[in-house]
C-alpha cells in the first residue's frame, strides 16, 4: 500500500477505525474522517505508532455544505486518491426513535448514510479518475428496503428501520449506477454488507447484542478495497466476501435513474458543468 492514499469516512469509531488502522499498518497514507476530534487523534496516533501516516479531516455529513468543504480540502491537500471508502453512517435508532432532519432539511439517515457519500464521491471523482486504477467502496448493509419515491423523506410515516434500510439500498443503487458511468475509466465501485451486528456504537445504540466482531467486518471491507481479485470488477454487491444479489430495486434502471436525478437535484450538482473525464 506504499504510495497509496486512502480516505475512509467514519474512521473515528467502529469498523471504519479498524480499516483505517489496518491500512495504515500496510503503509497507506490514511485520511481519517469523522466528527470526534479526541477519538480521531487516537486513531491517527495509533497509525503513527505502527509506522504509518495519517491525517484527520473533521466534517459533519449531516450538512451538504460541510461535505463540499471536506471534498475541497481533500482535493487541495492531496495529489491523488487511490481508494475512497464511504463507511460513515448512523443506525436505526441513532439520535432517538423519532424522525430527524439534516441541516439541509432532508431525512437524517438518507442524508448521512447516502446523500453525503453521493456528493463526496462525485466531488472527488476528478481526483479518483486521475489516480486510476482507483476504487470506491460503499459500506452498505444487508438491511435494505425499497425507496418509495412518493415519500423519500419519510414525512408521511417514519420508522427508523425503514429509514436506515432505504438509505442502505440507495448506496447500493448508487454503486450500480456509478459503476456503469465509470466503465472503462479505471475507477471501480463496489459495495457490501460487512458483517452482521458488529460490536460497534450503532449496534449498542440499537440495543442489539453483537454477533460479529469489527475485525470480521474490516476484513470484508479490505477485500473490496485492496484484493487483487477485485481488479477491474465493478458494480457488485457482496455479503461479507461473497458476491450476491442485492434488493431487486438495485437492478431497476428506472428506479436508479429516479434516485440519481433526485440526488443531483438535492445536492445542487445538476447546476454544475459535468466533471471532465
Ligand X SMILES: NC(=O)c1ccc[n+]([C@@H]2O[C@H](COP(=O)([O-])OP(=O)(O)OC[C@H]3O[C@@H](n4cnc5c(N)ncnc54)[C@H](OP(=O)(O)O)[C@@H]3O)[C@@H](O)[C@H]2O)c1
Question: Binder to ligand X among 12, 162, 188, 267 (CB under 6 A)?
Answer: 12
Establish if 261 lies at the interface with ligand X (CB under 6 A): no
Question: Binder to ligand X among 24, 52, 89, 235 (CB under 6 A)?
Answer: 89
**For residue 186, what is its C-alpha cell?**
479505471
* Residue in 57, 114, 158, 164 annotated catalytic: 164
| Least CB distance to ligand X at residue 277 (A) | 29
Question: Binder to ligand X among 188, 190, 200, 234 (CB under 6 A)?
Answer: 200
Question: Binder to ligand X among 20, 31, 57, 62 (CB under 6 A)?
Answer: 62
Stretch touching ligand X by CB under 6 A, among 35-43, 127-135, 152-160, 237-245:
35-43
Stretch touching ligand X by CB under 6 A, among 8-16, 75-83, 153-161, 225-233:
8-16
Contact between residue 83 and residue 6 where contact means Cβ atoms under 8 Å apart: yes
| Least CB distance to ligand X at residue 130 (A) | 26
Residue 159: how many CB atoms within 10 A of its CB?
14
Site string for ligand X, 138-167 (x = CB under 6 A): -x-x--------------------------
Separation of alpha carbons 15 and 199, rounded Å:
9
Establish if 82 lies at the interface with ligand X (CB under 6 A): no
Please say whether the dihedral angle defined by the alpha carbons of residues 64, 33, 31 and 37, taken in this order, is positive or negative.
Answer: positive
Q: Please, what is the Cα angle at 155 between 153 and 161, to 5 degrees?
A: 65
Show contacts with ligand X in window 169-188 (CB under 6 A).
none
Burial 61-86 (b: 16+ CB within 10 A, else e): bbbbebbbebbeebeeebeebbbbbb
| Least CB distance to ligand X at residue 42 (A) | 11
| Least CB distance to ligand X at residue 231 (A) | 24
Question: Binder to ligand X among 44, 147, 154, 202 (CB under 6 A)?
Answer: 202
**For residue 141, what is its C-alpha cell?**
448493509
Beta-bridge mates of residue 193: 239
Q: Of 11 and 190, which has the nearer Cβ to ligand X?
A: 11
Contact between residue 154 and residue 211 where contact means Cβ atoms under 8 Å apart: no
Contact between residue 221 and residue 138 where contact means Cβ atoms under 8 Å apart: no
164 belongs to the catalytic site: yes
Q: Which residue is nearest to ligand X (CB)?
A: 14
Show contacts with ligand X in window 109-128 (CB under 6 A).
112
| Least CB distance to ligand X at residue 259 (A) | 18
Residue 4: name the closest of 33, 37, 26 by CA.
26
Distance of CA 196 to the CA centre of its chain: 17
Contact between residue 196 and residue 211 where contact means Cβ atoms under 8 Å apart: yes
Residue 2: how many CB atoms within 10 A of its CB?
7
| Least CB distance to ligand X at residue 150 (A) | 25
- Residues marked active site are found at 164
Which residues sit at the interface with ligand X, rule CB under 6 A? 10-16, 34-36, 39, 60-62, 87-90, 112, 139, 141, 193-198, 200-203
Amino acid at each position: 500500500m506504499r504510495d497509496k492514499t486512502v480516505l475512509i469516512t467514519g474512521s473515528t469509531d467502529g469498523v471504519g477505525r479498524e480499516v483505517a488502522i489496518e491500512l495504515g499498518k500496510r503503509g497507506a497514507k490514511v485520511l481519517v474522517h469523522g466528527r470526534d476530534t479526541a477519538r480521531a487523534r487516537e486513531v491517527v496516533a495509533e497509525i503513527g505508532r505502527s509506522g504509518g501516516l495519517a491525517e484527520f479531516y473533521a466534517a459533519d455529513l449531516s450538512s451538504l455544505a460541510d461535505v463540499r468543504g471536506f471534498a475541497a480540502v481533500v482535493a487541495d491537500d492531496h495529489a491523488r486518491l487511490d481508494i475512497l471508502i464511504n463507511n460513515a453512517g448512523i443506525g436505526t435508532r441513532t439520535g432517538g426513535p423519532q424522525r430527524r432532519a439534516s441541516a439541509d432539511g432532508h431525512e437524517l439517515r438518507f442524508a448521512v448514510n447516502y446523500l453525503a457519500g453521493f456528493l463526496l464521491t462525485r466531488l472527488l471523482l476528478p481526483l479518483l479518475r486521475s489516480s486510476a486504477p482507483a476504487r470506491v467502496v460503499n459500506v452498505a448493509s444487508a438491511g435494505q428496503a425499497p425507496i418509495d419515491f412518493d415519500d423519500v423523506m419519510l414525512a408521511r410515516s417514519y420508522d427508523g428501520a425503514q429509514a436506515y434500510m432505504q438509505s442502505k439500498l440507495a448506496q447500493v443503487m448508487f454503486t450500480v449506477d456509478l459503476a456503469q458511468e465509470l466503465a472503462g475509466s479505471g475507477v471501480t465501485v463496489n459495495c457490501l454488507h460487512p458483517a452482521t451486528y458488529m460490536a460497534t456504537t450503532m449496534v449498542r445504540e440499537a440495543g442489539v447484542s453483537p454477533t460479529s466482531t469489527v475485525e470480521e467486518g474490516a476484513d470484508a471491507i479490505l477485500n473490496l478495497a485492496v484484493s487483487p481479485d477485485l481488479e477491474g470488477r465493478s458494480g457488485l454487491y457482496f455479503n461479507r466476501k461473497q458476491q450476491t444479489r442485492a434488493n431487486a430495486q438495485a437492478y431497476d434502471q428506472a428506479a436508479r435513474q429516479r434516485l440519481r436525478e433526485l440526488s443531483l437535484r438535492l445536492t445542487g450538482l445538476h447546476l454544475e458543468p459535468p466533471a471532465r473525464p
